Amino acid sequence: MDMVVNRLSEIEAQAVKIIDAAAQEKKELDKQADAKIKEFDADVDAKTAQTLNELQAKLKEDMAVELARLKEETKNLVANLEADYDQNHKKLADNILKQLIEG
């Protein structure tokens, strides 16, 4: 009977060692998982920042192109208006004067 009790004690001691080892291994695996998650998050953050910077640069470039186009369009419009004014100044002045006189 003592032999059975001793054997059960040995089995229990081994079971406790196995449980402790499993708990320690679980802690290590948790640390590794946390490290991988942090690495993944850092990688995603870096890629997101890079993509955002690229999009901002593209947007800035597109805005510069659009601004240049609008400036050119405005310049041409003003030039056309000035040419029209220079060409039709006398007629415009005569029409205004006529409207003022005729009332």
**pLDDT at position 62:** 98
**pLDDT at position 8:** 87
List, for residues 57-70, the tens digit of each pLDDT value.
999 999 999 999 99
Band of residue 20 on the pLDDT scale cut at 50, 70, 90: very high
List, for residues 22-38, the tens digit of each pLDDT value.
999 999 999 999 999 99
The answer to whether 49 and 56 are in contact (CB under 8 A) is no
Higher pLDDT, 41 or 91: 41
Q: Is the pTM of this model over 0.85?
A: no
DSSP 27: H
